[in-house]
A and B are shown apart, each in its own frame.
Chain A
Amino acid sequence: MNKTLRCTLIAAVAVASAGAVAQDAYVIGVSAAMTGPAAGSYAPAVEAMKAYLEHVNGRGGINGKQVKLIVLDDSAEPSKAAANATRLLTQEKVVLLLNSSLSSTYAPMVAEAKRANVPLFFAGAVCPKDTYPPADAMLFCSTAFGANFDSQAALGFVKDNAKGPVRIGFAAMAIPIARAEIDYAEGLSRTLGMTPVDKEISPPPTPDYTPFATKLKEADPNWVYSWSPWVSQVRTFEALRRLGWTGRYITWAHLNAEEELTRVKDGEFYVIGTNAFFQDEPPMAAEIRAVAVRANLKYPVTYLTEGFIAGLVIEAALRNTPWPATPAKLLAAMNNLKVDLKGLRGGPLEWTKDNHFRTKQYYRVWRWDAGKQQVVRVQDWRAIDVKR
């Protein structure tokens, strides 16, 4: 009894609130890891995206319509993500579904999105391989990092900057996606003429990285490459340095990389990434700062680039979607899209029918310069073609 009563109550409210929503808005739904252990890497992107879209609304919206962004938390739990997707699709009738969460939430959301024929856009979350050419019809991705391409770019940088033969070590966190990528990188390093010497996989919560670093150091690499969540990347490096290792370390530039470089202050700690640093003063920097202040975001502005890129992509896609918006029209727009990212990346983000990742991926490399006491760029945009 209790349950039915409760359900009817919720139903009544749901109907009432659905009626209250003005129908002249583009409705977009997000399921994101806003709490839980992984929240630190996803919440800033989602909040930045939300702030940007509110900013767009303030300017008069898109095609004269407002954008309504509904954010639901899934704490990186698959079952919650599935429930969120169902709710966003059936109750809120979203034209676009977004995922900003751990890869464990992908499968249920993909299933729900496909059932409803609504495009699913990964923003801030690892791009699934299905968005690479030949792309899955419904899945899109704008997130900075892309498996395989990142390792190609990073190892390419190592090859170009190495003086003499490269003995390379690898470090990763024990999560499936990072382990797969580091295995790929190990294979790749051989084809590039390097000598892979050791590979250390550390479990996610590790009180002390020294034991892993000790083994890595004993293999005596002159370069180490790591592609993992930031904790694992930087902790392994710090532990290596404390053990007296003097080699060079290259790793992926996550949201907090710019802030972290100034904390770590090590000249041989390189980060490679596709999103511009604020240090580089991209044309949009002032706008991001202004929006962040207005929305009262609690994260440093350097964390927000990823979310703004997702916001720009959504804006462009919706602009090409004639009113009244339907998932099918939006899908058509997304299948042929070129977004000017205003300097936040090396070039425009381009989606084609065949490629829902991007046609070109641009990489920059940064490090800390002790002489100048600031972060410096050591390699400017270098493009890698994304082909099948």
Chain B
Amino acid sequence: MQLVVNIVVLASIYALIACGYVLIYRVSRVLNLAHGELMMLGAYGLFATASLFAGYPLAAIVAAALLALAVGGVVYWTLMHRMMGEAVLAAVLATIALGILLRGAMVLVWGAQERHPLQVLGVANASFAIGDARISSVGLTLVAATTAVYVGLYAFLRYTVWGVRMRAAGQNPLLAAQRGIRLHATYALAWGLATFTGGLAGMLIASESALDQTMVVIGLKAFPAALVGGLDSLAGALVGALIVAAAEVLLIHYVDPLLADVAPFLMLLAMLMLRPWGLFGTREQLDRV
């Protein structure tokens, strides 16, 4: 039972991070390798607003989430906007460079010390019993947040005008632009949403454990989940996260805890060999003669 809870919590972490990769890739075919850094920025955002709105945890969280949304938009308009039309590789490298820049800047502003946003907020991380298993309140929030984000994104992409525009831009930018969809605004929104969900993940992970420099690597570890499910499918990201999380937890429990580090990447490699477009992804056209 505890194993199931562990898998669900870990899968929620991975899924929440992975949906940021998927959103951006689906809309603009760019792989955002600065996602880990943006996550961390989101967590630092919470740390900053927590001291600003001391005593009002909810206000702090909302402010930090909005901040993350804005950061995503700003990143698009200042940097990625200029990389449109360049080779895909150049855009990916731009995200890597952005990541390095952000990492340096965050140390400049907040130092290399470990931080505990939850402590600043004045909230304790209690734990509850579910049957014979236990889950922490942050873990529970994480599962709830992931569910909310996925349901919200599904509804957004399915039923709202902006969601439909986003899907259209992802499917065929040229046709979408000719139908009068403002591509840049759509892309900026995608970046904003991706940073928002990533920031949320960062905040929750920082609350569950702590805020330090390793968060970037955690962001990278969630990437296999997105790829296993299919880089352009939200449902795929969810399933992929579950598979990777299950593999990791079960390996830790039954085989060797040391394998936890490479397991996601081994799965990713296996997936790339067998079905590069992932479980639920759309098969990209391969040009053949």
Contact = CB atoms under 8 A, between A and B. Distances in A.
Interface in B242-262: 248-249, 252-253, 257-258, 260-261
A36 B214 CA distance: 9
B260 A36 contact: no
Nearest to B124: A265
Contact of A208 (B9, B111, B134, B217): B9
Interface in A21-42: 35-37, 39-40
A202 B218 contact: no
A212 interface: yes
B260 A205 contact: no
Q: What size tier do the contact residues of chain A reach?
A: 35 or more
Contacts of B107: 35, 39
A39 B257 contact: no
Interface in A301-336: none
Interface in B213-255: 213-215, 217-218, 221-222, 248-249, 252-253
Chain A binding surface SS class: mixed
B119 A242 contact: no
B209 interface: yes
Interface string B140-171: 00000000000000000000000000000000
Contacts of B221: 205, 207
A230 B209 CA distance: 12
B2, B6, B257 pick with most chain A CB within 10 angstroms: B257
A200 B114 CA distance: 23
B116 A205 contact: no
Nearest to A241: B127
Nearest to B13: A207
Interface string B98-139: 000000100100011110100100000101010000111001
Interface of B: 2-3, 6, 9-10, 13-14, 104, 107, 111-114, 116, 119, 125, 127, 129, 134-136, 139, 205, 208-210, 212-215, 217-218, 221-222, 248-249, 252-253, 257-258, 260-261
Given A203-B260, A214-B2, A263-B116, 15 more contacts: A36-B213, A40-B114, A201-B258, A205-B217, A207-B205, A207-B209, A208-B13, A210-B9, A212-B252, A231-B114, A231-B212, A241-B127, A242-B127, A256-B114, A298-B113
